[in-house]
Amino acid sequence: MLDLPAVPLISSDSHVFEPPDLWVERLPKLADVPKLERVNGRDVWVLGGRLIGSTAAGQQPGLRLEDPSALKVAGLFDDVPRGAYDPDARLREQDVDGVRAEVLYSTVGMFLYGQVRDSQLLSTLCCTYNEWLAEYCGAHPSRLIGMAMLNTDDIAGAVGELERARALGLAGAMIPVFPLWDRPYEHPDYEPLWAAAEGLDMPLALHLATNRPGPVPEVCFEFPSTFSQAFLTNLDYWVRLSLTGIILSGVFERHPHLMVGCVEHELGWIPYFLFQLDYTYTDRIRRSSWPPKFASGALPSDHFRSNVFSSFQEDPIGMAHRELIGVDNLMWGSDYPHPESTWPKSGEITGRVLADVSLEERRKFLGGNVARLFRLNV
């Protein structure tokens, strides 16, 4: 564990695992919704006769810390930790890891962003998931902090769902890391969404592996080849594109209280990204199609440091350059119950990664920053 005095842990990035009958039970009039089926001795998620995911993403936490060679790409739902779908069990699993609260994202829902091309269906699936998540988190609202799913294909619908998510008690919302290819986030159509998120005080999160389908192979997910080694090694590529569009188009200039996060992308890439962002803004020949410079005189990196929160699990490179990134919006996350999780040794791992970090910064990274962002009373 961390050296005394102890630092309470709040995970900025953890996950639920959706129950097998979530969409089947709640959407009885729809003939084709995501469902769990047993195929060749393994439990897999199926939609429209296509395999869209396995249960491996929601099981085997802690195994990589003991024997990474034992990790499997598929398994049974029985192997998913009960707390991933049972809120009472979740508290016991938090206690094992010394975690006081968690911000919770979907697991199966993330598959849907890349697999469901029918936009109306995606919106329906998101709404149904949000209702279930609100019920799950409502059992222990001070320790389970839910992040809704939004379909940004339909911006008016996304605004309405964000408002409904706030009324349901959810704390923020996940949007695709990269939206539909012909309408990136610098497009003016998104203005109502940015305004609504700012007005509702609902942070928006760009969580890895949530790209909408597009013409580039890494975006056109086809399970099980979705997560190739090249894709996993370069996860920050897509979030850099989206953050560049959001920042340089002046979204944060117009909405200074809007918070957007890059979640589960780690940190080491950010210092170079900020250097290139500022260099493009200040030193490159300006094209007529580029948006005007900021009236405030701020640099793009200033807006990143004030308006972008970034999660990490165990990134020593990011910690070594934390001052360049900005220490006030960096947040540790355990990723439980995914195989990459730091559970059940989060205290030990964060103690090692943050060995050269001051106690004041530890308190920020391990709970203070996320509690401030989501106004948590813990």
pLDDT tens track for 94-151 = 999 999 999 999 999 999 999 999 999 999 999 999 999 999 999 999 999 999 999 9
251 has a pLDDT exceeding 60 = yes
Compute CA distances 144 → 12, 18, 216, 231, whole Å. Answer: 11, 15, 36, 30
Q: What average pLDDT does range 49-55 have in this prediction?
A: 89
Q: Please, are residues 130 and 73 in contact by the beta-carbon 8 Å criterion?
A: no
Please check whether residue 208 lies inside any domain of the structure: yes
**pLDDT tens column, 337-375:** 999 999 999 999 999 999 999 999 999 999 999 999 999
214 has a pLDDT exceeding 90 = no
Q: In the block, which residue shows the tokens 């842990």?
A: 9
Please check whether residue 72 lies inside any domain of the structure: no
269 has a pLDDT exceeding 90 = yes
Q: How confident is the model at residue 6 (pLDDT cuts 50, 70, 90)?
A: low
335 has a pLDDT exceeding 90 = yes
Distance CA 177, CA 206 (A): 5
35 has a pLDDT exceeding 80 = yes
293 has a pLDDT exceeding 70 = yes
Please check whether residue 268 lies inside any domain of the structure: yes
232 has a pLDDT exceeding 80 = no
Q: Which domain holds residue 106?
A: 9-13+90-373
267 has a pLDDT exceeding 90 = yes
Which domain CATH number covers 338? 3.20.20.140
Residue 345 has a pLDDT of 96
Average pLDDT, the chain: 93
268 has a pLDDT exceeding 60 = yes
Residue 227 has a pLDDT of 66
Q: Please, are residues 333 and 311 in contact by the beta-carbon 8 Å criterion?
A: yes
Please check whether residue 68 lies inside any domain of the structure: no
Q: How confident is the model at residue 226 (pLDDT cuts 50, 70, 90)?
A: low
Please check whether residue 24 lies inside any domain of the structure: no
Distance of CA 173 to the CA centre of its chain: 9
Q: In the block, which residue shows the tokens 């597009």?
A: 214
Please check whether residue 65 lies inside any domain of the structure: no
4 has a pLDDT exceeding 90 = no
- Percent of the chain topping pLDDT 90: 82
**pLDDT tens column, 173-197:** 999 999 999 999 999 999 999 999 9
Tell me how many domains the chain contains. Answer: 1
- To the nearest 10°, report the CA torsion of 211, 214, 215, 217: 30
Q: Could you give the count of Cα atoms lying within 13 Å of 230 in the half-sphere of its Cβ?
A: 4
Point out the least confidently predicted range of 231-240, 246-255, 296-305: 231-240
CA-nearest of 128, 121, 106 to 153 is: 121
Q: Please, are residues 127 and 151 in contact by the beta-carbon 8 Å criterion?
A: no
Query: Which token pair is 209?
Result: 């592996």
Residue 222 has a pLDDT of 44
88 has a pLDDT exceeding 90 = yes
Q: Considering only residues 234 and 323, tell me which one the structure prediction assigns the higher pLDDT.
A: 323
Compute CA distances 164 → 113, 126, 173, 203, 282, whole Å. Answer: 20, 12, 11, 15, 41
Distance of CA 256 to the CA centre of its chain: 21
* Cross-strand bridge partners of residue 258: none
Using a cut of 0.85, tell me whether the model's pTM lies above it. Answer: yes
Please check whether residue 253 lies inside any domain of the structure: yes
CA-nearest of 228, 234, 237, 217 to 73 is: 228
Please check whether residue 247 lies inside any domain of the structure: yes
